[in-house]
Structure 1
Amino acid sequence: MKLFSFCTAFLFVYASIHAADSRPNILFIAIDDQNDWIGCMGGHPQVKTPSIDALAKRGTLFANAHCQAPLCNPSRSSLLTGLRPSTTGICGLSPGIREVEQTKSHITLPQTFTSAGYFTSSSGKIYHDGSMRGGDQKAEFNEYGNRGPMPKPKKPIANLPGSDRHPAMDWGVFPEKDEDNADWKIADSAIDALKRAPADKPFFIAAGFRLPHVPCFASQKWFDLYPDADLKMPPVKEDDRADLPKFADFLHWKLPEPRLSTLRAMGEWRPLVRAYLACVSFMDSQVGRLIAQLEASGRAENTIIVLWGDHGWHLGEKLMTGKNTLWDRSTRVPLIFAGPGVKAGQVCNRPAELLDIFPTLLALTKMPARSDLEGHSLVPQLQDASAPREWPAITTHNKGNHGIRTEDWRYIHYADGSEELYDMKNDPNEWTNLASDPKHAAKKTELAKWLPKIDKDPVPGSKSRVLTYDPVTKEAVWEDKPIDKTAPLPEP
């Protein structure tokens, strides 16, 4: 039996090596802080994203895809390890996966393809910045290109209060030339990797664009696409927070992102919305440059393209800006697959998770499935968008706080037991919390069965944007400081 197993393994490796040039390539495109303001997703009526829209037409768009955490590090760590934040305890901006006992030796998505003999290259932001400390970065990718730090003007452009304001809280026309923007340099770096990719082996080339993450900087021509006089603002209900449990406020206690009231007082709400749209369109143009080079390489036909965003972003909805919530504006993300094994021109409304990317790419490239991944292959939906899917999308934001998203419903359960329930078909803005309505009790019970059974404490070293709650003392602690539950939601 041992000899048979050895021979089988040998033949598999032998066949893999000698069929390497026929294995599909992967172009892996990440976008930072991108909500559903993409043309094909319908999140904003004026947004212009011709490159991403064209990609969606040549593949399958998951219109109901959601992140596993509404924050960069835990979201990206989850996607790249295939493990939920509730399983690993990675829920803050630090630590990175190689500093956490459970994941320090875990074989990641990029590492899987590097070890399989792919030429692997990374440009821009794929892992959260600094999150690979303590790990062998060469085991992840063969090479690293331009990481693309954001350029900064000599002084802030946006009119916001406070001399100690977070340096990322800025937006406006900057720099003068597109070529000086970080995303142009990231696209250049990934384009160069495509040009140099060896012809005798498949490639896994990753490009992580930094926009539309703040600071939202783009040159004037991208702002010109969105004249201020014609700008359509996101829908806002002035008493939107009246039916929310108090615990919802705790999840974004003292964040650097300004509240809507601050933006209105400073006259910065419209400028931020305009800048976000301008940055989305500029970023889209860099996606277009990258895909154009793939076409020019002659290898597009055998290349799987997957484009995803790490989490969404509020632009006034729920009276706030930023992420760190369990509502659709913060969890819904673009997710598109195109290439071999993917039916073109599809829109799938089944709930999907970023966690599903890992097992899906293994299946599309005929690599062995892994039992230690918590996502589920999307191949059935890539072949038929109407194929049934058993699982909802689950988002976790610190221990005990989870959102469950199906095609028609969103259920949120907080660490103190409070709840929200939204009929997404009839209330897509999540304006009416139905959790206290007795006639929806059965629906809550049905959705609550999907709450993670494993729900770990934040890992040691967790810092920024971490909330803990003690069910015995009923004390909520935000970044090591107890929250005054009687205080109103503070302004930054």
Structure 2
Amino acid sequence: MKRLLALYLCLTAFQLSVAAADTRPNIVFVLVDDQRNTSLGCAGHPQIKTPAIDELARQGIRFENAFVQTPICMASRANLFTGLTTTTHGYHGNPGNPVSKADLQSSFPTLLRTAGYRTAFYGKQHVKWKKGVNGMKEMFDAHEVLHRNPYLKQMPDGSLRHVDEIIGDKSVAFVESQTKEAPFFLYMSFNISHAEDSDRRPGFHYQWPAEEDGLFEDVEPLRPNLDDPKYYAAAPEFLKHSLNRERFFWGYDTPEKYRVNLRAIYRMLAGMDRIVSRVNSALKEKGLNENTIVVYSADNGYYMGDRGFQGKWSHFDQSLHVPLVIYDPRMKSENRGRVIDDAVTSLDIPATILDLAGVPVPPKYQGVSLKPFIDGESPKNWRTDFYCEHHSGNAKLPRWFGVRDDRYTYANYYKDGVELLYDREVDPTEFVNVAGDPEYSDTLTRLREKALKYKQQYSRK
């Protein structure tokens, strides 16, 4: 009798655990390539059309001050997987140290999978793992790496299909295969809106899906906010000889080239938004939308001609500042549609996803869960600064580390022996470098020491 009672209690506990697991939310993470914070309709852009993301922001929350800590695709994506800074995990790209097995095992997709989530990834990957380690197989039940170069892929029938449309196809199929027996995590990693580096022809340099053909043809794209030549003239001399300047001539150096390429970027983002809408529709048709969280962000910002630059990589706001939208169908109505001004970083995303899934966040993670904001709370003692860095081995990409706080931007370009300091309270466009101004000597010393302290804190000995 005692044995039967014990068996009954075990079965009951198991059934309760399954029932609890059934209520855990599904999570879709949408990561866009090379998108700055202002390039969304909900962020106030008057020309770019992103109705699906705008609706997620209206029903969820949008973070006005979201930043990456390493503004380059490879390292930023490794930061997201591992929850660690580039200084800690070591993979800065070109070539960089591959991500270790230990950091792979504590990556947020691995932890979700271990906790019983069905995990899938489709799209751009761009992270190297330690030799003999297959990171994607460790993290995901299903995955397919889908890179651009070229954007248009030949299909079995001979037709061409945009690679991100294929990401949408795979994502929809994954959603359609799900049941309510276990939660799932879907990572949609877009190639949009990265330029096609190997094809610099206007209209091909930025390649949009066919369904967006003709969109924005009657729109005269807005000129960059920092279009005045004075901003290029004020840039550090080494940046004038970097890839930021070189690639400006790939896409923006004539009015017609700028016009054609900006319309192309608008079409790319419209296509991305439509593909996200396809997945949202699949969720609704499966009856999964009421229990599926959507997180939307980008791997880095992007110069769209500002300062006479293209690309990312450097310390200015256009390079670091990204969109971040989180939609949770369980949110209370009074918490929806809010815009959060607190500074958050990409390292907060993996911690947030784990927290929303009810999975413990590893102590080694260097970000903080944003769940309190989702719940309508105002966290006490929230960060007032964060560490940022770029260490790519590409000779045309200067290396730096620094700190951004609620007023100042500090960057140490250590290979060039140059320190930069901007007071955004009086100089929001980061035009005047005040590192040599005696009035700012104490601030320079304080932020220099803060950046070095962060660097030491995050370094592995």
The two structures have a TM-score, normalised by structure 1, of 0.76
Correspondence for 2:202 = none
Counterparts of 1:219-234 in structure 2, within 5 Å, are 219=209, 222=212, 224-227=214-217, 230-234=220-224
1:314 correspondence with 2:315? no
SS of the aligned residue for 1:239 comes to: helix
Counterparts of 1:144-163 in structure 2, within 5 Å, are 144-145=143-144, 147=146, 149=148, 151=150
1:365 correspondence with 2:357? yes
Correspondence for 1:374 = 366
SS of the aligned residue for 1:41 comes to: coil
Correspondence for 1:25 = 26
What CA distance in whole angstroms lies between the structure 2 residues aligned with 1:262 and 1:292? 35
- Alignment check: 8 A CA contact 2:243 2:311 kept: no
Instruction: Give how far 1:451 is off.
Output: 1.5
- Alignment check: 8 A CA contact 1:29 1:307 kept: yes
Unaligned residue ranges in structure 1 (runs of 5+): 1-10, 155-177, 460-492
Counterparts of 1:36-435 in structure 2, within 5 Å, are 36=37, 37-42=39-44, 44-95=45-96, 97-98=98-99, 100=100, 103=103, 106-125=105-124, 127-128=125-126, 134-136=132-134, 137-145=136-144, 147=146, 149=148, 151=150, 180-215=161-196, 216-219=206-209, 222=212, 224-227=214-217, 230-235=220-225, 236-249=227-240, 253-254=242-243, 258-260=247-249, 263-264=252-253, 267-339=256-328, 342=331, 343-384=335-376, 386-388=378-380, 389-398=382-391, 401-415=400-414, 418-425=418-425, 427-435=427-435
Instruction: Give how far 1:385 is off.
Output: 6.8
SS of the aligned residue for 1:30 comes to: strand
What CA distance in whole angstroms lies between the structure 2 residues aligned with 1:219 and 1:101? 37
What CA distance in whole angstroms lies between the structure 2 residues aligned with 1:242 and 1:355? 34
Instruction: Give how far 1:254 is off.
Output: 4.8
Q: Residue 47 and residue 408 in structure 1: after superposition, are their counterparts in 2 closer, same or farther (change >3 A)?
A: farther
Q: 1:166-217: CA deviations, max 9, x gaps?
A: xxxxxxxxxxxx9821111111111111111132111111111111111211
- Alignment check: 8 A CA contact 1:145 1:190 kept: no
Instruction: Give how far 1:449 is off.
Output: 4.8
Identity value in percent: 31
Q: Residue 95 and residue 422 in structure 1: after superposition, are their counterparts in 2 closer, same or farther (change >3 A)?
A: closer
Letter in 1 for 2:270: S
Q: 1:215-260: CA deviations, max 9, x gaps?
A: 211257636432366221212120224444445457xx35796234
Q: Residue 375 and residue 12 in structure 1: after superposition, are their counterparts in 2 closer, same or farther (change >3 A)?
A: farther
Instruction: Give how far 1:58 is off.
Output: 1.2
- Alignment check: 8 A CA contact 1:302 1:340 kept: yes
Q: Residue 96 and residue 334 in structure 1: after superposition, are their counterparts in 2 closer, same or farther (change >3 A)?
A: farther
What CA distance in whole angstroms lies between the structure 2 residues aligned with 1:74 and 1:276? 23
Q: How many positions carry a matched residue from both structures? A: 419
What CA distance in whole angstroms lies between the structure 2 residues aligned with 1:218 and 1:121? 24
Q: 1:20-69: CA deviations, max 9, x gaps?
A: 11111111111111112112223x43111111111111111111111121
SS of the aligned residue for 1:405 comes to: strand
Q: 1:140-181: CA deviations, max 9, x gaps?
A: 100114726454579xxxxxxxxxxxxxxxxxxxxxxx9821
SS of the aligned residue for 2:52 comes to: helix
Q: 1:115-164: CA deviations, max 9, x gaps?
A: 11111111112x3166586323322100114726454579xxxxxxxxxx
Letter in 1 for 2:43: M
What CA distance in whole angstroms lies between the structure 2 residues aligned with 1:394 and 1:190? 34
Q: Which structure has more helix as a fraction of its residues?
A: 2
Q: Residue 189 and residue 220 in structure 1: after superposition, are their counterparts in 2 closer, same or farther (change >3 A)?
A: closer
Correspondence for 1:486 = none
SS of the aligned residue for 1:337 comes to: strand
Letter in 2 for 1:437: D
Unaligned residue ranges in structure 2 (runs of 5+): 1-11, 154-158, 197-205, 393-398
